[in-house]
Amino acid sequence: MVLCGINKCYIVHSDAYPVYEDLIRKYMANYFLQNGFSLTISKTGYSYDMGCFSVEPRIGNFDYIGLDNDVTKTVF
């Protein structure tokens, strides 16, 4: 599972996970902001364990939060 949201999840083959992860990291937050969505992307784990991204209401001024940025953050 690469991405989850309200009542939805997006599952990809493990070989494709790095491609989707890269696209999410590079483009998703900017896309939200440009289209007027006030959201934060969070990550449930580290990249190597293929933790899932999720989208939630804006948290402070963060486009992205998760263990990859700060290991003291709680796993969601």
Element (H, E) at 30: helix 29-34
pLDDT at 12: 92
Report pLDDT for 63.
87
Please give the pLDDT value at position 71: 46
Residues 6+ apart with CB under 8 A from 62: 40
Q: Which two tokens stand for residue 15?
A: 């070989």
pLDDT in 10s for each residue of the chain, 76 residues: 888 877 888 999 989 988 998 899 899 999 999 999 999 888 877 666 667 888 888 888 888 887 765 645 555 4
**Which residues, at least 6 apart from 61, have a Cβ–Cβ distance to it below 8 Å?**
none
pTM (2 d.p.): 0.74
Q: List the beta strands (DSSP E) in the chain.
A: 3-5, 8-10, 39-43, 53-57, 64-66
Query: Residue 47: its pLDDT value, please?
Result: 64
